[in-house]
Chain A
Amino acid sequence: MIAEQPPGPAGQAGWRTGWQAGWRVWWRHSPARLVLATALLGAACLIWAAAPPGSAGPAGPALVTLGACGLAGSVVRLALAGLPRPDTAGYPGPLTRLAAWALDLLRRLPWAEATVLAVLALEALHPARAWHTALLGVALTGYLLAVHLAESSSGRGESAALLWSQAPVLAAGLGLLVLAAGSALLPGAGTGPAGAGLRAAAAVAALLACALAAPV
């Protein structure tokens, strides 16, 4: 026999506890967490690169708009990832065709890449400040990882496992980032033979990155 919940404050407290527990379970397993993290990280990158306003020159507003559009598109794409494409077989109506076309466009365009390019351009237009760029690098890498996890992981455990397996490489990359920022803070960096060598190394690294990303 099920005991009836006593009315009054005790019953209300029980209901609230149950509601909170349900909300917590939903939040833990919902992809909305990762989508929200992506939006926050992307917005942080954009604001960090654009601040103070006007320092990026006349191209600043255009780059901020591009970055914001990319971020919005990226977040909407992730939020609508589970939405099935409208069935256009047979003779669909104009609204169905428009919805299918818009969804295809949303899924095809490189929104996150646009954000990355806009943020980097904004940062490059600012006066030299190495620590600022290093922090932006950390946030930008975090943003890309958040986008990746939001679009590919199906559960909390999977996200953690995927991130954990990449942790040593990420740590090494962040170490290099700190070293690069530290070298930039040294007086006279980027000039003379050391600067030329650094540029050559950067060019080799760019070619290496392209080669590594190429398919088998």
Chain B
Amino acid sequence: MPEHPPGAPAPATELSLSWSVSSHARRLLTLAVAALAIAIGTGRPEFAGLAAPAVLLLAAGRRARPAQVQVTAGLTASRLVEGERAAVTLAVRGADGYSVHLVLRPAFAIVPLPGPGGQRPGHAAGRDAALPFTVRRWGRRRTGSAEIIVRDRWRLAEGRAVLGLPGLDCYPRPAVQQTRVVLSRLPQRLGEHTARAAGEGAEFGGVREYVPGDRQRSINWPATTRRGRLQVNTFQAERSQDVIILVDAAWDEGEPGDSVVDRALRGAAGAARAYLAARDRVGFISYRSQARWLVPGLGQRHYYRIAEAMLAVERDRSYDPGFARLPRAALPPGALILVFSPLADPRLVETLRDLRQRGFAVLIVDVQAGDPWLGRGRTARLAHRLWRMEHQAIRFSLRELGVPVVQWDGQQSLDLPLAPFARRALVTRR
């Protein structure tokens, strides 16, 4: 079904109804036929009388039935964040005099929610109805299908039709992040971070002697009185920084919805939102089997560009065995590189070492919350030990190079693991 913007009137679809006997009619038929068969077989007329109410109900409930209905389907939102509530809106026409029941057959990761007035999840009655749902996992999702059930007045016959529903884009739920890691050396660009250099910012830097050309409004009169010479206040410059967020999706492990890649993307979304809110330029690099990047940009629109790039991670099935260095175009000089990775792919680890050697400030958020599932038994225990030792060795070698690695479980705020680096400017040494 073609997509249309939410709110715009969607075209109606003509659907043919497939009529069948309802379960109620089937039960009445069982009673009638069995009772009449016993009446014939045993010659007892009271059994024929027992079948009479059922036969009369079946006879009186029969009437001409519509062969087709017109159905208009839409979504209240075609883009949403994991866990947000949306609804499928359905309008059924051409079934006057019949009761209409609508059932949502959800696709993967779509979870129907109860509607208003105690309405069962995924079920609604009436010709115009909304079926609320939420999406459990990010990605370009099919919503599923809607089953339209038309019943006659006594519900003896059911007409059924199935309509495919439009798809939607579900973005990863951003992790909570209030604080930001700021580099000690910032580019010469106006922003919101206090730099070490003196400038025209709002942060007080110190007091010095007046020199011709200084603004009169910056004279510090109490200091002038004390020292007997004109003193002026100095302020620190306010700059912005370039932040590159790198998501390693090469290796995934865990339940869908709480896997390593899910955590990495949620963390990346939270970081992108926090840095864009501080007027920083944010770029995005996703690494699955090959690197794809988005050049740094500013503003809310750029956040949605990054979110779209995150959705593309799911589709990336290509394999690039030659991947070793991240392209220069994706990495502005002096940028802070924030990496969300389980540190499981040796090629990415080599790339991070290379980045550090090229002088970039790299900060790694390890999103591997626990040991991966490797089975049970003695061999699995041995494999776990080996895995742990290898993981510790990787982390140690990165720390030796001056690349901090912090652990994040995907549940808590990102502020907690990043707190040691957010308190003061991150010093980068070549």
Contact = CB atoms under 8 A, between A and B. Distances in A.
B389 to A, nearest CB: 29
B56 A176 contact: yes
A87 to B, nearest CB: 8
Interface stretch (B39-47, B336-344, B408-416): B39-47
Contact of A112 (B27, B36, B45, B52): B27
Interface in A31-52: none
B46 A208 contact: no
Interface stretch (B151-159, B239-247, B357-365): B151-159
B16 to A, nearest CB: 12
A180 B48 contact: yes
B55 A190 contact: no
Contact of B32 (A130, A190, A206): A206
Interface in B1-41: 19-21, 23-41
Size bracket, chain B contacts: 35 or more
Interface stretch (B58-66, B70-78, B181-189, B190-198): B58-66
Contacts of B174: none
Contacts of A212: 55, 58-59, 62
Nearest to A136: B50
A75 interface: no
B125 interface: yes
Contacts of A184: 44-46, 49
B155 to A, nearest CB: 6
Given A172-B56, A180-B46, A209 B33 contact: yes
Interface residues of A, number: 63
Contacts of B53: 137, 141, 169-170, 173-174, 176-177
Nearest to A151: B23
Contacts of A202: 36, 39-40, 45, 47-48, 51
A121 to B, nearest CB: 8
Interface string B57-95: 111101001000000000000000000000000000000
A181 to B, nearest CB: 5
Interface string B208-232: 0000000000000000000000000
A18 interface: no
Which DSSP category, helix, strand, loop or mixed, fits chain B's interface? Answer: helix
B325 interface: no
B44 A208 contact: no
B40 A209 contact: no
A152 to B, nearest CB: 6
A183 interface: yes
Contacts of A152: 24, 151, 155
Interface in A67-107: 82, 84, 87, 89-90
A110 B52 CA distance: 22
Contacts of B60: 169
B112 interface: yes
Contacts of A29: 118
A144 B48 CA distance: 17
B243 to A, nearest CB: 34
Interface centre among B49, B57, B109, B120 (most CB of A within 10 A): B49
Contacts of A173: 52-57
Given A113-B26, A117-B30, A180-B46, A215 B39 contact: no
B56 to A, nearest CB: 4
Contact of B52 (A180, A189, A199, A216): A180
Contacts of B319: none
Interface centre among A110, A154, A190, A206 (most CB of B within 10 A): A206
23 contacts: A89-B107, A112-B27, A113-B26, A113-B30, A124-B44, A124-B47, A133-B47, A137-B49, A144-B54, A170-B53, A170-B57, A177-B53, A179-B49, A183-B45, A199-B40, A199-B43, A201-B48, A209-B51, A209-B54, A213-B26, A213-B28, A213-B58, A216-B157
Given A84-B122, A173-B57, A209-B54, 8 more contacts: A29-B118, A124-B38, A141-B31, A144-B24, A144-B27, A152-B151, A165-B154, A174-B53
Which 6 pairs from chain A and chain B are nearest by CB? A180-B49, A173-B53, A137-B50, A176-B52, A206-B36, A177-B49
